[in-house]
Amino acid sequence: MLTSLLVLGLCVALLYLCLQTQRPKNFPPGPAAVPIIGNILNINLMNPLVDLDRLAKRYGNVYSLFIGPKLVVVLSGLKVMKQALVIKGAEFAGRPQDLFINDVTQRRGIILEDFGPKWREQRRFALMTLRNFGLGKQSMEERILAEIKHIIEPLEQSVGKTINPQVLFHNAASNVIFQVLCSKRYDYDDAVIKLIVLCFRQNAKLANGVWAMLYDSIPMIRHLPLPFMQAFKNIQTLTNLFEVLVAEHMETRVPGEPRDFLDCYLDKLDERGNDDSTFSVERLSMYLLDLHFAGTDTTSNTLLTGFLYLMTHPQVQERCQQEIDEVLEGKDEASFEDRHKMPYIQAVIHEIQRIANTVPLGVYHSTTKDTELMGYSIPKGAVIMTRLDSVLEEEGQWKSPHGFHPENFLTDQGEFEKPDAFMPFSAGPRVCLGEGLARMELFLIIVTLLRRFKFVWPEDAGEPDYDPVFGIILTPKPYSMGIQLRASQ
């Protein structure tokens, strides 16, 4: 009798688990899933991009996967992406609230805030404040140019030698956004900035890696001492650092006379007249961390990708330098406005962003209501993965989708043009907050450095490896950069 009950119980449990991996009616198709672990066996968790592309070729540009017990709708291609993120932007503008990254960030900040009144108020404030402190204005340009001088110094000391630029570019991008957020910059050998860069880099790799997927798939392992616990330690370290900055600002600020983003937020706290305000001291540190992360890793890794390709495509570098010399003749330094006179430089920078593919899977979206996409029924709360990499490499959208080809952004007359498929910052209501800052940084840094230096691939470095390290942000493998002072300098 007992044996029969155990067998019956096991059969019921197996039936329940099998039902849990069944797709709803008219839901996007996908591979059959294994109970509990879902489709983890169908993709390489260390780098799923190739497998996600393979599945799109089999099931179409709208398909689904079980990540553990959770169904995820995977979107590919420009047509699908525009339909979801732009035309139906509000319906696909939510954020899932029960994933690894949500637990790590304690569901605070702005990037992972779910769609609704709170998100709208916080995003509006962030955009307005960043704009007031210089995005697209001369004050921001001056801050970037001032930081570039700190990049030039170690490069000048390395003329005739080689240098690993990874930390250099990370520190520079970090300092630019730090000055906007809290009027702070750190020397490149400062222990604080080294710690911040390390924590962000580790968390970026963990957030889109195998351990995050296992964390989301198997809830019972979440409290075990596994590698994903490092992300929680890192975020606590960063929170502690930013809380010190907040405390310092609270002591030194003059209400109504903001010096930076942090002061503006504190002024907003003073204005709170009711309990419905979405502004709070408790969420401030994570808010700053969100903006710092968004303004640091994407830009620094794009720069790393850019100089890797410029070194290994010397003809492109030389043509850039020729255009820079012609446009900047007689000028002490570049201005962001100069980009309008530099079509080839603009093409090269946009091609660098395209091939860098820095955030290949974007940030997870979720549906805010029951909706429909390409004939499929998508229920409210569905998790949406946006394969930005599929758009940036889509056949038919680019003259040369594979490899490094600045001509993708040039007309037959040599004028700069930006195809619709260029969306490294995503699109729609959730488009990246830091797009304006990133565009200005990339232009000013690349132009200023190319004007002064020639960058060469070291003779003893072997063949360049263009395959990046996978994570929430793709990172080029470490490389050395040969530095030569240009004859004109």
pLDDT at site 53: 95
Query: By C-alpha distance, which of 261, 287, 291 is closest to 180?
Result: 261
pLDDT at site 4: 47
Secondary structure in 3-state letters for 408-462: HHECCCCCECCCCCCCCCCCHHHCCCCHHHHHHHHHHHHHHHHHHEEEECCHHHC
pLDDT at site 198: 86
In tens, the pLDDT along 145-163 reads 999 999 999 999 999 999 9
Is pLDDT above 70 for 296? yes
Is pLDDT above 50 for 11? no
3-class SS shares of the chain: helix, strand, coil, % to 5: 55, 10, 35
Average of pLDDT values for 316-329? Answer: 97
Q: How many angstroms separate the CA atoms of 397 and 145, rounded?
A: 35
In tens, the pLDDT along 15-52 reads 444 444 689 999 999 999 998 888 988 888 788 999 99
pLDDT at site 140: 83
More confident residue, 481 or 193: 481
Which three-class secondary structure state does DSSP give residue 330?
coil
pLDDT band at 354 (very low <50, low <70, confident <90, very high): very high
Contact assessment for residue 145 and residue 451, using Cβ atoms and an 8 Å cutoff: no
pLDDT at site 273: 59
Q: How many angstroms separate the CA atoms of 458 and 450, rounded?
A: 17
Average of pLDDT values for 257-280? Answer: 81
Q: What are phi and psi of 192, to 5 degrees?
A: -65, -50
pLDDT band at 275 (very low <50, low <70, confident <90, very high): low
pLDDT at site 5: 43
Element (H, E) at 72: strand 70-75
More confident residue, 456 or 140: 456
Is pLDDT above 70 for 344? yes
Average of pLDDT values for 361-386? Answer: 95
In tens, the pLDDT along 221-235 reads 888 999 999 999 999
> Exposed/middle/buried for 120, CB within 10 Å: 0-12, 13-18, 19+?
middle
Q: How many angstroms separate the CA atoms of 256 and 263, rounded?
A: 9
Secondary structure in 3-state letters for 220-266: HHCCCCCCCHHHHHHHHHHHHHHHHHHHHHHHHCCCCCCCCHHHHHH
Q: How many angstroms separate the CA atoms of 46 and 40, rounded?
A: 11
Q: How many angstroms separate the CA atoms of 135 and 125, rounded?
A: 14
pLDDT at site 282: 79
| Residue with token string 């720069």 | 303
Element (H, E) at 466: none
In tens, the pLDDT along 381-423 reads 999 999 999 999 999 999 999 999 999 999 999 999 999 999 9
pLDDT at site 134: 64
Q: How does DSSP assign 350-412, residue by residue?
A: HHHHHHH-SSTT-S-EE-SS-EEETTEEE-TT-EEEE-HHHHHT-BTTBSS-SS--GGGGB-T
The per-type count for the chain, helices as H runs and strands as E runs, is: 16, 9
Is pLDDT above 70 for 345? yes
Average of pLDDT values for 341-345? Answer: 98
pLDDT at site 16: 40
Is pLDDT above 80 for 120? yes
Side chain identity, residue 387? R
pLDDT at site 21: 63
The DSSP output letter for 481 is: E
pLDDT band at 3 (very low <50, low <70, confident <90, very high): low
pLDDT at site 135: 57
Which two structure tokens, joined as six digits, stand for 449? 């450095």
**Cα atoms in the 13 Å half-sphere on the side-chain side of 200:** 28
Q: Which residues contact 108 (CB under 8 A, 6 or more apart)?
A: 282, 283, 286, 287
Is pLDDT above 80 for 1? no
Average of pLDDT values for 125-129? Answer: 87
Does domain 101-358+396-485 fall under CATH 1.10.630.10? My reply is yes
Which two structure tokens, joined as six digits, stand for 223? 């409290």
Helix axes 314-328, 435-452, angle to 10 degrees: 90
Query: By C-alpha distance, which of 147, 122, 128 is closest to 440?
Result: 147
In tens, the pLDDT along 431-467 reads 988 888 899 999 999 999 999 999 999 998 889 999 9
In tens, the pLDDT along 38-96 reads 898 888 878 899 999 999 999 999 999 998 888 999 999 999 999 999 999 999 999 99
Average per-residue pLDDT for the chain: 89
Which three-class secondary structure state does DSSP give residue 284?
helix
